[in-house]
Structure 1
Amino acid sequence: MPAPQIVAHSPDGIKAFGHVDTLIANATIEDLRAITRNLLASGSPGLASAFTDAARIRLRQTKLDGIHAAPSSSLDNTLARIRSLYGAGMATIGLRWGRDGSMAAMLAVIDTDISQAIQSCKEELEGGRVNDLTAARDAVNKLWVSVQESLADVKSWGGEFPFERAASSIEFWKF
């Protein structure tokens, strides 16, 4: 039988939950990600919305408190190059990689990031926080074209398509 949880208030007014705080303090980032995803996926529809609201509040607070990262010029250059490739529909066009190599692993991470970004965009639309639906549709269409071009290129050399999740997320996105 688990020990009872004790609810207390921290100095900043946020409720602290005994064993939960201990778990958060000691779990790995991978464990926390998995726990959060499972909780949000299995919870009520309002839970994901409440989580997003709490995250926005927290991120605004930390930014106002001066806690933020500063990108290096190397990151700026890398992002500019990647955005150029994506913008030209060439994210993976012409590249070759093995099924189990480090490139395949990195592309799987990118696929997950794209899928998460698509989900976030869906939530922004549903929450009424998008002002220009035409621009949003254009962006989704450009992403779809890029993904399809990548798929065709990968098929041409017999590789494993790296953006299955992204393709599925876009394909079933109706707005």
Structure 2
Amino acid sequence: MPSRTQKLLAKVPGPLRPFVVQHRSLVKFLVVGGSCFLLTLVINYGLKLTVCQNKPVVALTIGTAVSTVFSYILNRQWSFRSEGSHKEALPFFVVSAIAVGVNDVPLWISRYVFDLHKPHVSNFTQEVSDFLSGMIIGTLVAMAFRYWAMKKFVFTNTRADSSADVESPARVH
């Protein structure tokens, strides 16, 4: 009976399968990141359109912080499949706190250095600028930092996916 991973891998186009198998922790990390991006987006705009209308950096920080907790659970249990105790929790949250700051910097620069906010620009320009600088640029830079830092400092004692979990790409049809 094929495992869930084998079933999913069978749906990946043939030319991509070797990459996915070789870099499975990166692929899993990106799936977790995509889920957390959506969670951050919902929380960020939920706050920004209600109680944090004049505080976009605060709204983004709260959204990112909440999704960080979700990210910890998924990355620990799935992306990096950490063994042992929760000893990586403290370094995870230290790295994540730095990453929240990294994520906020582009939004802060666009808003308060380049003055891309009302009344200096239209509401549309402000919102596009906020989205591009905070949700896109900030997220991409923070994601690259997180992936590097998680592998280097947090999930250093991870077990490799077993052969029972992932078969050779040539054997998956």
Q: TM-score, normalised by structure 1?
A: 0.25
Q: Which structure ranks higher in relative contact order (CA pairs < 8 Å, sequence separation ≥ 6)?
A: 2
Q: TM-score, normalised by structure 2?
A: 0.25
Rg bigger for which structure? 1
